[in-house]
Amino acid sequence: MSRRQEIAVGVADVRRRIEAGCTAVGRDPATVTLVAVAKTFPTMDIRILADLGVTEIGENRDQEARAKAAELADLALRWHFVGRLQRNKSRSVARYAAVVHSLDRPELVSGLDAAAGAAGRRVTGLVQVALADAAGRGGVPPAGVLALAGRVAAAEHLELGGVMAVAPLGADPGPAFARLADSAAEVRAAHPDAVIISAGMSSDLEAALAHGATHVRVGSAVFGVRPDSLR
């Protein structure tokens, strides 16, 4: 099978899963955005994806994302930064990212805001929510989500998009995604336009869709197993 065929099969399979996952809970699949997480995969794979109509691309490391965004500047892609972000990378990330999924502390919000202003861009920011047992995976505890969301909403060059989470490893993701849905509702009550719920990966996207995910971040189910499977 050619690489193009492999990726086409992966995309079709993920699209089928999104459709089935939505149908199972009475949702419209058209309300769900597939963000293809391309970390460790080459730019040629992203060109193939774009040709297949998938243009929302996720990355988790600035150095890699920045290089790929530059190399693929001829394509109309939207870059999603989904990894842990250090404040000193904000300047770089603000130049290419349309959406940053991992805002989890005030200094990151102010750093990204200043960087977006310097780049002359508006960047959508999601508040990453820490779910139980997901220690070390980033995020603000649920009790702090609304306050941080308020900072994003008030930032001059940022748009508050909503919330994001990574499910705890090795546990039933359902209860965790249910807590994320609660945080999302709390944020939406104060900021009605902040409708994004970024949740669900290759292994748990159905559970995320059942709890309202609007953006699923899928890597290996689209591209195949990563050489470095910890990322």
Ligand X SMILES: *Cc1c(COP(=O)(O)O)cnc(C)c1O
Q: Does 183 bind ligand X (CB under 6 A)?
A: no
CB under 8 Å to 154, separation ≥6 — which residues? Answer: none
Cβ at position 118, least distance to ligand X in Å: 26
Q: Does 82 bind ligand X (CB under 6 A)?
A: yes
Is residue 56 within 8 A of residue 218, CB to CB? The reply is no
> What does the per-residue mask of binding to ligand X show for 100-129, with x meaning CB under 6 A?
------------------------------
Q: Does 39 bind ligand X (CB under 6 A)?
A: yes
Q: Give the bridge partners for 56, in sequence order.
A: 78
Of residues 206 through 225, those in contact with ligand X by CB under 6 A are: 217-221
Query: Rounded to an integer, what distance in angstroms lies between the CA atom of residue 47 and that of residue 43?
Result: 6
Q: Does 37 bind ligand X (CB under 6 A)?
A: yes
Q: Long-range contacts: 183-192, Cβ < 8 Å, 24+?
A: 183/127, 183/129, 183/142, 183/145, 184/212, 186/145, 186/146, 187/127, 187/145, 187/146, 187/149, 187/160, 187/162, 187/163, 188/162, 190/146, 190/149, 190/150, 191/149, 191/153, 191/160
The site that binds ligand X (CB under 6 A) totals a number of residues, namely 15
Smaller CB distance to ligand X: residue 16 or 231? 231
Q: Does 202 bind ligand X (CB under 6 A)?
A: yes
Among the listed ranges 62-70, 113-121, 151-159, 199-207, the one in contact with ligand X (CB under 6 A) is 199-207
The distance between the two most distant Cα atoms of the chain, rounded to a whole number of Å, is 50
Q: Does 60 bind ligand X (CB under 6 A)?
A: yes
Q: Does 157 bind ligand X (CB under 6 A)?
A: no
Q: Given the rule CB under 6 A, which residues bind ligand X?
A: 37, 39, 60, 82-83, 166, 201-203, 217-221, 231
